[in-house]
Amino acid sequence: MSQIPNNKYDLEERTFKFSKSVAIFCNKLPKTASNFEQSRQVIRSSGSIGANYIEANESLGDKDFKMKLKTCRKEAKESAYWLRLITELN
């Protein structure tokens, strides 16, 4: 029997690490009103990517799976927007 290979594309783990990295990044930002509000937004959207991916893996069917993946993509785009705004303002 062969061993199960280490999946370098493990999206549950990768999305978790991304969300964790975003939170660490936000904690290092200067404590300003705009950074506080934008950090809240990006922390929420980045965490939603992984949470929705986990839900997609527990989906009830192909249509449900695809819809949850679309939600992941939407949250990823939102996270990219907030990260761009934060970096350009800092």
For residue 80, being part of any structural domain is answered with yes
Total domains, the chain: 1
Position 46 scores a pLDDT of: 98
Cβ atoms of 45 and 78 within 8 Å: the answer is: yes
CA 8 from chain centre, in angstroms, equals 17
Residues 57, 22, 77, 58, Cα dihedral to 10°: 10
Q: Which two tokens stand for residue 82?
A: 């907030």
How far is it, in rounded angstroms, from Cα 63 to Cα 56?
Answer: 10
The tens digit of pLDDT for each residue in 3-59 reads 444 566 799 999 999 999 999 999 999 999 999 999 999 999 999 999 999 999 888
For residue 12, being part of any structural domain is answered with no
Domain interval for residue 81: 31-89
For residue 49, being part of any structural domain is answered with yes
For residue 78, being part of any structural domain is answered with yes
Position 16 scores a pLDDT of: 97
Q: Which amino acid is at 23?
A: A
Position 9 scores a pLDDT of: 73
DSSP SS3 for 32: coil
